[in-house]
Amino acid sequence: MVSLRRMNRAQAHRGPDDEGYYESENVGLAHRRLSIIDLSGGHQPLLSEDNQIVLVFNGEIYNYVELGRELSRMGYHTRTHSDTEILLLSWRAWGTECVKRFRGMFAFALWDNRQKVFFAARDRLGKKPFYYSVTGNGQLVFGSELKTVMIHPDVSRSLRPEMAEEYLMYGYIPDPGTPYQDVFKLPPACQLLIKDNGEVSKEAYWDLPGVSKR
């Protein structure tokens, strides 16, 4: 996948220490790494022991040691000392509910070949970015930067007419919008689930306590 490599190398500054790729018939994931935790064992994309789950992750899970102990008591065994593996095992243990257990700054995406689902989530305050688009042929394209997504040849370049007004009013373009009609930001504290049959669900997994919704 030439586009995957071009997209990944366009954000080399986000992770100068390593790059990795996973490619199958219908799924391609890429990652740039800035080594912080488990310098020797944190290569991504990370595959589960049975090669059925693959994950890419940007950020840091602050409570990964505590989660690792809990997973160990449940019978899960780790091969590395990275928070990335704890995130993957948490998906295996708790499914979509796993994201509610994470404390940290993160954006991650995974493909579960057993369930045939794609799952992605962004941290509660949106410290880590997540841009995505669904192309005209139904392909999901995502990345940590807008320019990375726009490299893909099938992503629409149509501009949003209202984006200039939004920028002049707020000084930025509010989530989930971007300058482009068909490219979006996953809002903070939101998760995205896509099933193999094309069913898409996006929902918030957390809200600021004590704030009433209008």
- Pairwise CA distance, residues 123 & 59, whole Å: 9
Nearest CA to 42 out of 67, 5, 15 is that of 15
Residue 54 has pLDDT above 70, yes or no: yes
pLDDT at 11: 77
- Pairwise CA distance, residues 136 & 123, whole Å: 28
Residue 13 has pLDDT above 80, yes or no: no
E strands, 13-153, are 18-23, 28-33, 46-47, 53-61, 104-112, 117-122, 131-134, 140-143
Contact indicator for 15, 148 with CB cutoff of 8 Å: no
Q: Which domains does the chain have, with CATH numbers?
A: 2-204 (3.60.20.10)
39-57 exposure pattern, b = at least 16 Cβ within 10 A, e = fewer: eeebbbbbebeeeebbbbb
- Pairwise CA distance, residues 115 & 130, whole Å: 23
The amino acid at residue 156 is S
pLDDT at 214: 41
- Pairwise CA distance, residues 45 & 54, whole Å: 6
pLDDT at 17: 66
pLDDT at 6: 83
pLDDT at 5: 77
pLDDT at 16: 63
- 190-194, 201-205, 207-211: least confidently modelled range: 207-211
